[in-house]
Amino acid sequence: MTGGPDLRVRLGALELAHPIINASGTYDVLAVAGHGPSTVPFSCYVPKTVTLEPRTGNPPPRITETPSGIINAIGLENPGIEAFIADLPRLAGLRIPVIISVGGARPADYLAVVRRMEERLAAAGAGRSPAIAGYELNVSCPNVAAGGLSIGADPEALRQLVSAARPLTARLLIAKLTPNVTDIVAPARAAAEAGADAISLVNTFKALVLDPVSLRPFLGNRTGGLCGPAIRPIALRMVAEVAMSVDVPLIGMGGVTSGLEALEMIACGATAVAVGAATLADPRAPARILEQLSAELAARSLAGLDDVRGTALRDS
């Protein structure tokens, strides 16, 4: 082997230099101190979910630590698609592709965001912009009253949304699934059959923490979404179940903090691995995870990720 293991991966038509990407909502390229747009430690950038209209999000407190993870109820605070578009030139220096995470209260809102973005990208003289590789439909946010989770937990609703979004773009179309279901395979199948190029999983688990003094819900939204190491074994199981049932590439996420844990996601069938809570705790975590992943492959004398993908799914 020369030059170390081959870390390149392919999500549909999109080739990525390596499999480590950011989980939406946990890394702001423009806000991370000491990092310019050209020094992002990911192979692809997924900004915070954007909706048609601006959203102020949920009342505080909106995030807190738990014994082995983070619980948040941000509530999809974002400036809306028009402000997002106006801000795109600030991301133009990015040397990696961008996948736009799309949210909405109704299916029509998701479609309007994709349509508006495509119009903007097609417009003559559209101005400076990063390379927009595709869309991740966030049908899985547990912290908004309408839409989100309810679409992701209903395979038929998800099938209809993906079918309607499919003709709007030739770019990559990804469905991000909620783990708050009894059967993760049903929505995954529905999304793939409706034309999704890839599936991301998992979003956060609906959870509750109490204020220890008042014994009342701590978060302003009462419940929130749990992520981080606590959810990793469940996320792994869900990635494995989906990998055994659908043919599209998977972006696995949930509690990954090390190269070995990223490798485990890949062994369970993931093509790419997203990192969220670990980056919130330490912005240098993704670069370390990538280095460790490469070292794990080298230590096992594996030439590339194809040699390990899905090994956990085999009978022997």
Ligand X SMILES: Cc1cc2nc3c(=O)[nH]c(=O)nc-3n(C[C@H](O)[C@H](O)[C@H](O)COP(=O)(O)O)c2cc1C
Binding site for ligand X (CB under 6 A): 23-26, 48-49, 63, 70, 72, 74, 76, 101, 138, 176, 203-204, 227-228, 231, 253-256, 275-277
Catalytic-labelled residue, pool 44, 141, 227, 268:
141
Q: Tell me the closest approach of the beta carbon of residue 248 to ligand X, in angstroms.
A: 18
Question: Comparing C-alpha atoms, which of 31, 3, 32, 12 is closest to residue 286?
Answer: 32
Q: Choose between 4 and 59: whose C-beta lies nearer to ligand X.
A: 59
Q: Choose between 25 and 259: whose C-beta lies nearer to ligand X.
A: 25
Q: Choose between 180 and 204: whose C-beta lies nearer to ligand X.
A: 204
Show Cβ contacts of residue 231 under 8 Å, excluding neighbours closer than 6 positions: 69, 179, 202, 204, 205, 254, 255
By DSSP bridging, strand 132-138 and strand 98-102 are parallel
Q: Tell me the closest approach of the beta carbon of residue 201 to ligand X, in angstroms.
A: 8
Q: Tell me the closest approach of the beta carbon of residue 253 to ligand X, in angstroms.
A: 4
- The residue of the chain with the least Cβ separation from ligand X equals 25
Q: Is 141 a catalytic residue?
A: yes
In DSSP terms, 253 is beta-bridged to 274
**Coil, helix or strand at residue 23:** coil
Q: Tell me the closest approach of the beta carbon of residue 210 to ligand X, in angstroms.
A: 19
Q: Choose between 3 and 22: whose C-beta lies nearer to ligand X.
A: 22
By DSSP bridging, strand 132-138 and strand 69-72 are unpaired
H-assigned helices in the chain:
81-87, 107-122, 149-152, 155-165, 185-193, 232-243, 259-267, 277-281, 285-299
Catalytic residue positions, numbered: 141
